[in-house]
Amino acid sequence: LAKTTQPISMDSYEGQEVNITCSHNNIATNDYITWYQQFPSQGPRFIIQGYKTKVTNEVASLFIPADRKSSTLSLPRVSLSDTAVYYCLVGDFMNTGFQKLVFGTGTRLLVSP
């Protein structure tokens, strides 16, 4: 499993764009990058996944450079309700064998008015 490193915490204000970068230097060829969001007293929620370049959905964008050794989750125009812990996970999840999700410490995002 590729080890991931994220900032422990980030602060932002409503309406700003937030970029959370995750480092995964030993990512393997078949590994995918997955991000989850967790609100207090709730289970994590899948946000986005990607393999390379850029992926965008209704919630966020995921930017992955060519070397794939890092990735950046971009949240456009955050609101107070985006205050949560964001986890970056990397693994070969598409093969027929089992690859568990290993949650790291995550990044605690605090959005203020």
- Binding residues for other proteins, rule: CB under 8 A, are 32, 34, 41-46, 49, 87, 89, 91, 93-94, 96, 98-106
Judged by beta carbon, residue 29 or residue 113, the one nearer other proteins is: 29
Closest approach, Cβ 102 to other proteins, in A, equals: 8
Closest approach, Cβ 26 to other proteins, in A, equals: 18
Assess contact for 18 and 75: CB atoms under 8 A. Answer: yes
What residues have CB less than 8 Å from 3, skipping those under 6 apart?
24, 25, 26, 104
Q: Residue 55 burial by CB count (10 A; 0-12/13-18/19+): exposed, middle or buried? A: middle
Judged by beta carbon, residue 43 or residue 113, the one nearer other proteins is: 43
Closest approach, Cβ 85 to other proteins, in A, equals: 8
Sign of the Cα torsion 103, 45, 38, 15 reads positive
Judged by beta carbon, residue 40 or residue 113, the one nearer other proteins is: 40
